[in-house]
């Protein structure tokens, strides 16, 4: 602890030398409390992402268990319910926070709702009917509670100095990425509970490999709720005071400057595309492997969990590489060639090139077949010879493997190889953390020293919209048209976005405010920006 305090003191002294006059902004105790509050925001962002992703690999088999008639298209609605609610309620939570002048009460309220909704998700077997709609409702409520994400971003923007903002925004991005990736790993960790699980309350409430994820959310959200109590979370907003001191302004509004709208909206669109493509893999991962590799539910959840936990490690490595890369290359170049290019290749690699066709089973009369203990299992290569393999033990879920016959594209679309699936996932794990981190970092810098709550809300809404449209749109395209159309379309989407970013690459640079010193010039009329190239150029 002594060494840690000495390092913190040295850092504060370095800031005072680098920014003379800023030593009056806060005391060392206030600095400690300010960063403690920011760390709590990091954990909250992690939990919000975890609450969404932890059910992704298990939601399809869980839904299929609760209601075998639901179908994969309804699963898309269940996955999309969370971001849809988040998109609707984020402006309201943001307005509420602004009205109160504090985020404490909105955060406590949203976390309490998150706890209740997560408990409901894990208790769906208590409902005698309409279970798929109850699942949809619980995911919607979790989305409502997740609307606090814009308030979190806004607070970090207000609670950091300009020199600290890149690090803080990057850490928010890392917290989200880890939440998205670690969630499925936690789901995989409870697969040992199995489909039958253990009784929490005999013949009423069960803990199994599907419901355990909800109870993990409950535990973590209770911890997060406690962290927002006054003893731990103390709000300190310093960005406005810093801008006023640097510019000699009388109030914060005088420091607000007009942002580059083209650059800002370009990055908002890029964020939409990147999250949309990541959600493709999160949404389809389990059902895709079950269809393509004939894995049963437990195998798909277990292997996808392991794969995504490895992805979490890769994300941490990528995050550690971002700062060194950005010292050698401009941030916008790293974002395009390190983030978007890898994501583009990851989508293109998923277009199937394997020999033969997926194993299939006849699901036309699944419930009737199960009751009659007979089930048709079809291999696409045999289907054209009009031969059917009749198997026994139809009610054994391990028999229901491969592509269902209702997905007719499985009959004529080549199977995906395991190698290309793993290789595409590797490219995604490398590209997504780099891209999503640098989009948020550059976005924050381009906005300049103005309050960023509204703009961060727009960026958050962009991500929510992609998470709404992604699961519904992709599950429809995948279910009806198959892998060629799904991954061909998303690869084209990434290509168009990358071309747009390359064309406007010079606009995606941080701005520095140039203050006019002429006598009589009002500070609130300073509206000029100068682009600062990150690579030096020398005129001949």
CA atoms within 13 A on the CB side of 299: 15
Q: What percent of the chain clears pLDDT 90, i.e. is strictly above it?
A: 16
User: What was the pLDDT predicted at 365?
Assistant: 57
Confidence of residue 390 (pLDDT cuts 50, 70, 90): very low
Q: Which residues pair with 375 in a beta bridge?
A: 391
DSSP conformational letter for 129 = S
Q: Which two tokens stand for residue 259?
A: 């942002």
Compute the distance between CA of residue 468 and CA of residue 77 in angstroms, rounded to an integer. 8
| Complete DSSP assignment for 454-469 | HHHHHHHHHHHHHHHH
How does pLDDT run across 333-359, given as a tens digit for each residue?
Answer: 889 998 899 999 988 998 888 888 888
Higher pLDDT, 447 or 490: 490
pLDDT of residue 222: 95
Average pLDDT of the chain, as a whole number: 76
Report pLDDT digits (tens) over 359-368.
877 766 554 4
> What local confidence, expressed as pLDDT, does residue 533 receive?
44
What is the spatial distance between Cα 355 and Cα 353, in angstroms, rounded to a whole number? Answer: 7
CB neighbour burial string for 99-137, b if at least 16 within 10 angstroms, e if fewer: eeeebeebbbebbebbbebbbbbbbbbeeeeebbebbbb
Check residue 225 and give its pLDDT.
95
Report the share of the chain in percent with pLDDT over 70.
Answer: 76
Contacts of 142 (CB under 8 A, 6+ apart): 51, 52, 82, 85, 114, 117, 118, 121
Query: What is the model's pLDDT at position 248?
Result: 59
Cα gap 53→182, rounded to integer Å: 8
d(CA 48, CA 141): 13
Instruction: Dump pLDDT digits (tens) for 4-42.
Output: 555 455 454 444 444 545 556 777 888 888 899 999 999
Q: What pLDDT was estimated at residue 246? A: 62
Angle at 262 between CA 257 and CA 263, to 5 degrees: 80
Asked if residue 399 has pLDDT above 70, the reply is no
Confidence check: pLDDT of 113 > 90: yes
Count helices and strands in the chain by DSSP H and E runs = 19, 8
Asked whether the beta carbons of 52 and 182 are under 8 A apart, the reply is: no
Mean pLDDT throughout 329-336?
Answer: 88
The pLDDT value recorded for residue 256 is: 60
Give residue 66's pLDDT: 84
Least confident piece of the model among 112-121, 260-269, 458-467: 458-467
Give the residue-averaged pLDDT of 52-60: 76
Highest mean pLDDT among 68-82, 341-355, 386-400, 505-519: 341-355
Output the pLDDT for position 18. Answer: 45
**Mean pLDDT score, 417-436:** 89
**Which H or E element spans position 390?**
strand 389-391
């Amino acid at each position: 602890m002594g060494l840690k305090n000495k390092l913190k003191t040295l850092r504060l002294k370095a800031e005072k030398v680098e920014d003379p006059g800023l030593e009056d902004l806060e005391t060392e105790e206030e600095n400690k409390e300010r960063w403690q509050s920011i760390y709590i925001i990091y954990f909250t962002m992690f939990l919000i992402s975890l609450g969404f992703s932890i059910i992704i690999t298990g939601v399809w088999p869980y839904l299929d268990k609760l209601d075998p008639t639901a179908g994969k298209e309804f699963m898309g609605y269940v996955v999309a319910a969370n971001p849809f609610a988040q998109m609707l309620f984020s402006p309201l939570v943001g307005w509420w926070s602004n009205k109160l002048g504090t985020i404490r009460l909105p955060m406590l309220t949203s976390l309490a709702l998150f706890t209740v909704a997560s408990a409901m998700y894990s208790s769906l077997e208590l409902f005698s009917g309409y279970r798929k709609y109850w699942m949809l409702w619980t995911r919607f409520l979790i989305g409502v509670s997740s609307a606090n994400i814009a308030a979190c971003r806004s607070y970090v923007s207000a609670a950091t100095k300009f020199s600290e903002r890149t690090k803080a925004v990057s850490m928010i991005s890392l917290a989200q990425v880890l939440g998205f990736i670690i969630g499925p790993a936690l789901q995989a960790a409870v697969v040992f509970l199995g489909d039958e699980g253990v009784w929490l309350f005999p013949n009423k409430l069960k803990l199994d490999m599907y419901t355990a994820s909800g109870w993990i959310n409950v535990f973590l959200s209770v911890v997060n709720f406690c962290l927002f109590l006054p003893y731990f979370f103390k709000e300190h907003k310093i960005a406005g005071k810093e801008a006023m001191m640097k510019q000699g302004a009388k109030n914060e509004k005088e420091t607000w400057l007009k942002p580059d709208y083209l650059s800002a909206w370009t990055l908002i669109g890029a964020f939409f595309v990147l999250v949309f493509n990541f959600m493709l893999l999160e949404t389809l991962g389990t059902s895709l492997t079950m269809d393509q590799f004939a894995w049963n539910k437990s195998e798909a959840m277990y292997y996808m969990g392991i794969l995504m936990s490895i992805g979490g490690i890769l994300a941490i490595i990528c995050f550690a590489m971002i700062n060194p890369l950005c010292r050698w290359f401009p941030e916008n170049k790293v974002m395009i060639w390190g983030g978007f290019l890898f994501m583009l290749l990851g989508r293109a690699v998923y277009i199937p090139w394997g020999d033969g066709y997926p194993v299939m089973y006849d699901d036309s009369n699944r419930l009737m077949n199960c009751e009659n203990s007979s089930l048709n299992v079809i291999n696409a290569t045999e289907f054209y010879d009009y031969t059917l393999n009749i198997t026994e033990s139809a009610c054994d879920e391990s028999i229901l493997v491969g592509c269902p016959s209702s997905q007719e594209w499985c009959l004529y679309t080549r199977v995906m190889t395991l190698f290309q699936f793993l290789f595409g996932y590797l490219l995604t794990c490398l590209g997504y953390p780099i891209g999503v981190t640098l989009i948020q970092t550059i976005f924050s810098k381009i906005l300049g020293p103005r309050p960023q709550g509204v703009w961060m809300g727009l960026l958050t809404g962009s991500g929510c919209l992609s998470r709404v449209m992604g699961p519904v749109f992709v599950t429809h395209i995948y279910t009806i048209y198959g892998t060629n159309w799904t991954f061909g379309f998303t690869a084209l989407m990434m290509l168009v976005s990358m071309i747009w970013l390359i064309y406007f690459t010079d606009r995606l640079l941080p701005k520095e405010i140039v203050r006019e010193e002429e006598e009589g010039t009002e500070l609130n009329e300073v509206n000029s920006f100068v682009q600062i190239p990150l690579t030096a150029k020398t005129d001949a």
